[in-house]
Structure 1
Amino acid sequence: MTSTTQPANDQGTGPRLRGNLGTLELFFSIMAYNAPLVVVVGIIPIMLVAGNGVGTPLVFIISGIILAAFADGFIRMSKALPRPGAFYSFITAGLGREVGLGSGFTMLVAYFCVASGTVAFGGIVLGALVTDTLHGPSAPWYVWGAVFWGLTAVLGYLRIDLSAKITTLLLFGELVVVAVYDTAVILHGGGPDDLSAAPFSPAHLFDGSFAIGILFAMGMFGGFEVAVLFRDEVRDPRRAIPRATFGVIAAAGVLYSVTSWLFIDSLGVGNAVASVLADPEGVMHASISEFAGRFTTDAANVLVNTSAFAVLLTAHNVASRYVFNLSADGILPRALSGVHQRHGSPHAASLAMSVATAVIFVPIVVLDVEPLAFYAAILGIASVATLAVFFAATSR
């Protein structure tokens, strides 16, 4: 029987997953969940008009500092509770079994929502790439979404090392495109105002809505906590987990802050917000094309697809491990805590997640729900769920 304060496996009993992840593989797997290219192309322009405008680069720095402080305590706790349950294990130990179970199921729902929403988003962007860019056959979004789903179902079943290698490769392509754009803006000396440091001035911090800006920015660091969830699949967890966690926070903070600064400079500090308002969907693509060339823009369009797939694969793997841990503790059916003899993966939990993801799309397709509306709604649920658990974890 499980304890009233701790999950059953805290002392190492029960089924254990196996893997051979190093620090870099763990780092890239987590960073891929943040979808850097999607953030740069789709989120940063939105932050300029819905958040704190020209002060956007500063909120990324502030968010990184806040989350690094939280991560310090989080990592210390993971050493005291060496079990791959993440928020579920930690909140159970601190606030009791009932709250811990609630947090575990809430995070499971959050990552399941991200995975489900990304299948829809992937269907949209892959369909656009095949039909509009490659001039291939036209098909409904759910056909292309099924391609994303099928690949994820197969990779999620296999050893985590393979997923890590694939997400590493995909993320590398994203980072190259962003780095090429950033370098091009610097080499061109910026836009109308040259390279201006004004976006880093505290005077711009409260342009527009600081509260919305900080919420957007903190959301772009999502998934940094999942390194702990892969503890049993990491070669040297006591070293790799802290390095990967702080590495993701630092890399995301620097990347988004620098790129948003250069994007603002490419438009001109005084014209940036107006330029985004005039063409919110195309302004970043136009900036990339102007400074880094058409080839880089085309590469970005292709890599948005691989970025979406990397998010889907990571979310699926994380959700599967929440199912595995809840099953290993007897909360969900024990059959879901099976460990594949060859791959060392939570194959039963992964299959259950794949089936659940497929099932949720049956009414979506039958009722002809608009996929972007579904994507936006289900990501909203994921955001609320994650914030609820975050506040629970920091309440004591």
Structure 2
Amino acid sequence: MNHTQQPEVRYADAPALGGGSNHGLKRNTLGVTSIACFIIAAASPLTSVVAVVPIMLSIGSGVGSPAAFILASSILMLFAVGYVAMARHVSNAGALYAYVTLGMGQLTGLGTAALTIFSYTAIQVGLYGGFGFYAAELILQATGVAVPWWLCAAVAAAACLYLGVSGVHSGARVLGFLMSFECLLLFVLAGGMLLNSPAETSFSLAPFAPSALLSPGLGVALMFACVTFSGIEGSAIYSEEARDPKRTIPRATYFSVFFMAAIYSGVTWLIICTLGTDHAVEIATKESGNLVFRVSDMVLGGWGTIFFNIFIVTAIFAAMVTIHNNIARYLYSLGRQHLVWSPLGYTGRKAQTPYVASIVQTVSAVICVGFFAVMGLDPYNVLYASMTGMGAIGLVLAQTIASIAIFVFFRRTRCDQRFWNAFLAPLIAVAGLCVFLYYALSSVELLLGLSGTWANLLAALVFIVFAAGWAYGFYVKRCHPAKYERIKSVLCE
């Protein structure tokens, strides 16, 4: 089949920034493994297993949770098909913003940019709370010294900033190191459940049966399963820094989704089998957040729990580094087009990282965390749970808009005429993501861990931010028409 060749995006035409401070992002730096580490670290598999699996077992699909993970990953894999097809034609650190702009216009593109930056920032702030909570608990258990959670969060913020400005390859190496231990611990847990489970354990395939999946709690299960894949859209953010992005981005994206689906569904299935299919839901309801630690004690002994307490801290930190980099590159993409404060588009001469965007992102997140600390709010139940939940809703909405934009872009330009990649997969992904979004909004109190007005307000804030970005685009169109027209031309030239 013939495919019309689409000119590749160039970046030398981006508006020049004063003082020679825009040296561009460092090209040909990241391979498949490095980008996959960024994607997987953002989802934080260890944290997802510890925090989400008990919820899915107790109030979601119950013993059908492994199948729910597979169903959710299938929808997200369909999203990835259209997403990486778009990445073949557009290489931009603004990823979702660039794709939506080319598919649905500048107004919707700027709305999506605002939504994505806001969502990532909410997740980042929530991760600060989670890191502070777990790190303070770990220090207390190890030394008996009570350290304020916000102090731990501040140290992590400084470390994130250092890695963010020192070079993307340095961050990738650190993430690779941390991810190795995180995944190794999950593999050891899985091995322990296979080899050291109680004698009466039966490794039944019943959890994968359609009857187990189609339970009354399927919507809740799909909602939380989708949350555990947050960050898969991050692959294209690094397309300007990737080696051979037309191959690297698809391979890293597909591998990451498949890898996480295998871990989530496999570990959850083994937990159910270890506890017994007849008792897993009851035990998960009773143990709640301690479920994985109890299973670890059963099959690995006390040392397993010790390592879980350590590596859940490093897992959250790895996610923080990735989200930090994602936000910085979105700000950089807008800054170099003079759509926001222009210095956000500056990059360092040596490391070629968006150092101004990294500093601004860190300061804004620390201010938010400081507000929560001054107000005396709970770092886990309020900050971590509610902010990451709100960010997840925002990302699902952004992915939905992007899938529509990708479908429209390929229908209009005909630059990719593959029926599956450019038509059917994006269309099915839109339907699936709309289902995820519906369940997230209909169960918003459960997802955010809040009740009543506060839960509805945070959910509404996601749409308000998108509308604000759209309104800003309208302002640029009316007051700065040349700049407005250049938004799309810079992406298309």
Q: Is the 8 A contact 1:118 1:375 kept in 2?
A: yes
**Displacement of 1:355 after TM fit?**
1.1
Q: 1:197 to 1:189 in 2, by over 3 A?
A: farther
Matched residue, 1:120: 129
Under a length normalisation based on structure 1, what TM-score does the superposition of the two structures give? 0.94
Cα distance in structure 2, aligned partners of 1:191 and 1:44: 24
Partners of 2:68 and 2:298 lie apart in 1 by 26
User: For the Cα contact (< 8 Å) 1:163–1:313, is it kept in 2?
Assistant: yes
Q: CA deviation at 1:101?
A: 0.4
1:191/1:268 contact within 8 Å kept: no
- CA deviations on 1:12-63 (whole Å, 9 max, x unpaired) are 2225200511111111121111111111112111111121110000011111
1:280 is paired with a residue whose SS is: helix
Counting only pairs closer than 5 Å after superposition, residues 1-396 of structure 1 correspond to structure 2 as: 10-12=9-11, 13-14=13-14, 15=22, 16-19=24-27, 20-132=29-141, 134-188=142-196, 192-372=200-380, 373-395=382-404, 396=408
Runs (4+) off by over 4 Å: none
Shift, 1:190, TM fit: 6.1
TM-superposition CA deviations, 1:127-160 (whole Å, max 9, x none): 000012x124212111111111111111111100
The percentage of counterpart residues that share the same residue type is 27
RMSD of Structure 2 on Structure 1 (CA): 1.5
Check the 8 A contact 1:63/1:218 in 2, yes or no. Answer: yes
2: CA distance between counterparts of 1:365 and 1:184?
Answer: 39
Partner amino acid, structure 1, of 2:189:
Y
Aligned equivalents of 1:204, 1:348: Cα separation in 2: 50
Gaps of 5+ in 1: 1-8
Structure 1 Cα separation of the partners of residues 306 and 293 of structure 2: 9
Deviation at 1:247, TM superposition (A): 0.4
CA distance in 2, matches of 1:281, 1:378: 18
Q: 1:275 Cα shift?
A: 0.5
For 2:63, give the aligned amino acid: V
- Is the Cα contact below 8 Å between 1:56 and 1:205 reproduced in 2? yes
Report if the CA contact (8 A) 1:191-1:267 is conserved. Answer: no
Preserved CA contact (<8 Å) 1:190 1:265: no
**Counterpart secondary structure, 2:229:** coil
Letter of the 2:98 partner, please give it: S
Aligned to 1:6: none
SS at match of 1:81: coil
Aligned to 1:17, what secondary structure does the other structure show?
coil
Q: Distance in 2 between matches of 1:11 and 1:190?
A: 60
CA distance in 2, matches of 1:66, 1:94: 21
2:87–2:249 CA contact under 8 A, matched in 1: no
Contact 1:189 1:195 in 2 (8 A): no
Q: Specify the code of the residue in structure 2 equivalent to 1:85.
A: G
CA distances 1:213-234 after superposition (whole Å, capped 9, x unpaired): 1111122111111111111211
Task: Give structure 2 stretches of 5+ with no counterpart.
Answer: 1-7, 15-21, 409-493
TM-score, L = length of structure 2: 0.76
